Structure 1
Amino acid sequence: MHVEARKITIIIHFGFIAVLSSIKTPSANAVELVGSMALSGGHKDRELRVHESLDELSTDLADYIAELSEASVKERGVFAIALSGGSLIGLMGKLCEAPYNKTVDWAKWYIFWADERVVAKNHADSNYKLAKDRLLSKVPIIPSHVHSINDTVSAEEAADDYEFVIRQLVKSRVISVSDISDCPKFDLILLGMGPDGHVASLFPNHSALEEKDEWVTFITDSPKPPPERITFTLPVINSASNVAIVATGDSKAEAVHLAVDDVGSDSPSVPAGVAQPLKGKLVWFLDKAAASKLEGSQFSA
């Protein structure tokens, strides 16, 4: 299934780039960049995985999720994972195939949404419907472990209801609690990224980015339809044990550059650039097109 390929490991530290090694690896056509850069006076460590093809990215993403699931179930007995919508769900599709469909302990999964459109569950715009059709209906997840939003109320009420559900599951330790705040500590939050650099439903220059007290907030003026949405806030995203951001295609390249490279205060910031677990790990999954504007991207050829 895998073929040998050259792997280049690059350390990015305060903007300086050094090629450390070039070795053979069974992970086909993958270029891995490991980043360590300044943030708020400290350091943030993140891993960037750049792949030649969407198929290789999808396989690596499935491996990553399956490994985190196994580790979490071994440690806590459950795996609390929050999803987003869009192309991310399609890229998770290999989890429905062998070996993952048999080896993952699906009964221990608890599913949440990092953001959701406030539409009926059978609506084409529903992140729940997308995940159910392409993933959840194809693996033996326990239905009561799937926590979708209340789609019969307003966006504000849906956000309040969803936060209440999460608070109850934090009390029962289905979801861990952060040891540096009162926020929930999800085992994994999976995020896609838009061409404008938004993650979840946190859009550039939107007031929702500033929300510090609520775990789940709502918006009624999304710059992309549908306008009404609920979303995890940045404190919740940044309290997770693991966050993965998946971005593919040329249209994402500039936003990836702004989010990942140390571009300075004169450049526009994007929400994806402030998604960074305070005591967890951030991994970016990129194809070469999305990574094409990264500093040092000449090493990915």
Structure 2
Amino acid sequence: MPGKQANLFPFNDVDALAPALRSHIIACQNAGITRHNVFKIGVSGGSLPSTLAQALLAEPTSEEDKVQFDKWEIFFADERAVPLDHEDSNYALVKKELLDKIPAGWGQPIVHPINTEFLNDTQELADQYEQVLVNSFAKGDSVKLPIFDLLLLGSGPDGHTCSLFPGHPLLRETDAWVAPIEDSPKPPPKRITLTLPVITHSVRIAFIATGAAKKDIMKQIFEEGNGLPCALVNEATGERCSWFTDNAAVEGVAYPRRGFL
């Protein structure tokens, strides 16, 4: 068990949250570039891409505040088995909210979408995406797990994250890096997802959760755990995990808050 708890950073609203999230991402970016001259980041969907765009597309205030998109490699923490231009596609959402809006001259990231040739075979879809990770993270070496510089995740109203749902057998997967799911309780049912060991081996994990609708599940995640996927990530990663929330999402949650420096 990690020695310290996950960090909870609440803000008045998304406008106050976004600059802090930007600072955190840039710190992770710079550490990744120092380590291996690239920033390997995994992102999920939902409301996260719009918050991410607000954070990353702001004009830099200094040299230290620059997003070096040309050093980024973007992967998807989970994805739906749909075409890349489908409204349910996480890639389509990230493209629309962020990638298409990166100003000329800021550099372009390398982006790794799913291979849509395999939409009708989720196991093969997962295997193909796992091979993308092998090609990027292993590069001829044998590694047990890929280690992302940062994973940016969300929390569903049931406490799920990526496409790992409460009580689902996939939470016990220990071998695969990427796994298929065909019975997602949230549509669309067919998806692929990073597995829990991959998520918890990331150098840093940042959850973004906003809105009063999250209040009840945040209380469960932080006070009770209950084996919820988000709580499992907290418990496995400790202080490597940070939550960026608005006050509405954590109102009444009994858990130590931290000020963001």
**Would the TM-score normalized by the shorter structure come out above 0.5?**
yes
Shift of 1:54: 1.2
- Residue 124 of structure 1 corresponds to 87
SS in 1 for 2:248: coil
1:93 pairs with one of 53, 73, 77: 53
Shift of 1:171: 2.0
- Residue 270 of structure 1 corresponds to 228
Unaligned runs of 5+ in 2: none
- Residue 168 of structure 1 corresponds to 135
Amino acid at match of 1:189: L
Return the structure number with greater strand share.
1
**CA shift in 2, pair 1:296/1:235, >3 Å:** closer
- Residue 203 of structure 1 corresponds to 165
Return the structure number with greater helix share.
2
Larger Rg: 1
Residue deviations 1:24-61 (CA, integer Å, cap 9, x gap): xxxxxxxxxxxxxxx5xx63432110011111112211
Question: Contact (CA 8 Å) 1:170, 1:176: kept in 2 or not?
Answer: no
**CA shift in 2, pair 1:157/1:141, >3 Å:** farther
Shift of 1:246: 1.1
Q: 1:114 aligned to 2:77?
A: yes
SS in 1 for 2:116: coil
1:71 pairs with one of 31, 42, 45: 31
1:104 pairs with one of 50, 61, 67: 67
**CA shift in 2, pair 1:238/1:297, >3 Å:** closer
Q: 1:281 aligned to 2:240?
A: yes
- Residue 17 of structure 2 corresponds to 57
Shift of 1:141: 4.9
Query: What TM-score comes out, normalization by structure 1 length?
Result: 0.77
Question: Contact (CA 8 Å) 2:5, 2:238: kept in 1 or not?
Answer: no
- Residue 291 of structure 1 corresponds to 250
Question: Contact (CA 8 Å) 2:48, 2:153: kept in 1 or not?
Answer: yes
Unaligned runs of 5+ in 1: 1-38
Question: Contact (CA 8 Å) 2:6, 2:239: kept in 1 or not?
Answer: no
Shift of 1:298: 10
Shift of 1:206: 0.9
Shift of 1:207: 1.1
Residue deviations 1:83-115 (CA, integer Å, cap 9, x gap): 000111111113112018982211110000000
Identity of aligned residues (%): 40
Question: Contact (CA 8 Å) 1:239, 1:280: kept in 2 or not?
Answer: no
Residue deviations 1:69-96 (CA, integer Å, cap 9, x gap): 1221123200000000011111111311
Distance across 2 between alignment mates of 1:252 and 1:141: 35
Distance across 2 between alignment mates of 1:57 and 1:114: 22
**CA shift in 2, pair 1:167/1:280, >3 Å:** farther
RMSD: 2.6
| Higher RCO structure, 1 or 2 (CA under 8 Å, sep 6+) | 2
SS in 2 for 1:64: helix
